[in-house]
Amino acid sequence: MSQPIDSTKPSRDRPIASTDAFSLEGRVILVTGASSGIGAATAQLCAQLGARLVINGRDQDRLSAVHAALAGKDHTAIAGDLSRAETREALMEASPGYDGLASCAGIAALVPLRMANEAHLEKMLSVNYLAPILLTQRLLYKKRIRNGASLVYVTALSANAAPQAAAGYAASKAALEAASRTLALEQAKLRIRSNCVAPGYVETPMLQGLGALAGMDDKIDLTPLGRLVPADIASSICYLLSDASRWITRTTLTVDGGLGIPMRT
């Protein structure tokens, strides 16, 4: 005789028809790039949804300001450069186990390929690909990623769109997307999910820096739904961190206001 289903207890075998599925209550989540832009907005939303956070960025003052404004308590801020092993080690030691990773840290620079020297290409790969993957590798190796956890990597629309002057940047984000898909296969037996969020143009200090250099306003204004702000990306990241997306793994969620869809005007 079959057992009655207790719908109050979520499990992999039963649907979760509840707003609780979007909650991050009781989760411990590591957010990188939390001192600015998309990462700061993600940290704020994760905390509002009930998570306890470990946050990272390089700028101590901006990271402390984000930390001080987080909802809830018992959050930890660790400043440091993620391309350095000691920073990754400190983040690994900051919690006995993580239920989620929101990997938002990244850098961007527009350089035509004929002008892109080795240092530029190495820097893009080092910060945008190697740092998050080496961090993940260390967390997995030391068993700091709990069964059922969700890993979310912020990549970029340009990983696939590959616009001009973005060979270094786009390739580093494409590499991250490929690694995430591999990771999702390797960790599926522990129900650890791995996904990417690929933003289009988002109003952040990074975009302001690029725009000031390259006069990008015309390109940004091509976004059919208008200008995105960091909170728009944070909500997609939090969806992927939550049980509401528990059957979603090995994918990239594009959040670009329709920019990447070819259009005829």
Binding residues vs ligand NAP (CB under 6 A): 33, 35-39, 57-59, 62, 81-83, 104-108, 127, 154, 156, 199, 201-202, 204-207
CB 29 within 8 A of CB 95: no
Q: Is 169 a catalytic residue?
A: yes
Helices first, then strands: H and E counts in the chain: 10, 7
Q: CB nearer to ligand NAP: give 134 or 140.
A: 134
Least separation in angstroms between residue 95's CB and ligand NAP is: 18
Q: CB nearer to ligand NAP: give 55 or 243.
A: 55
Q: CB nearer to ligand NAP: give 28 or 259.
A: 259
Least separation in angstroms between residue 147's CB and ligand NAP is: 27
The closest alpha carbon to 129, from 182, 80, 165, 61, belongs to 182
Q: CB nearer to ligand NAP: give 184 or 259.
A: 259
Least separation in angstroms between residue 83's CB and ligand NAP is: 5
Catalytic residue among 98, 129, 153, 169: 169
CB 174 within 8 A of CB 125: no
Largest CA distance in the chain: 71
CB 145 within 8 A of CB 95: no
Rounded to 10 deg, the angle between the 230-241 and 37-48 helix axes is 50
CA distances from 53 to 29, 49, 125 (A): 5, 11, 26
Least separation in angstroms between residue 164's CB and ligand NAP is: 15
What does the block give as tokens for 51? 């998570």
DSSP state of 12: T
Least separation in angstroms between residue 51's CB and ligand NAP is: 18
Instruction: Please enumerate in sequence order all residues whose Cβ is within 8 A of that of 265, keeping only pairs 6 or more positions apart, or say none.
Output: none
Least separation in angstroms between residue 212's CB and ligand NAP is: 13
- Please give the full DSSP string across 171-232, using - where no structure is assigned: HHHHHHHHHHHHHHHHHGGGT-EEEEEEE-SB-SHHHHHHHHHH--HHHHTT-TT--B-HHH
3-state DSSP assignment of residue 265:
coil
The catalytic residues are 169
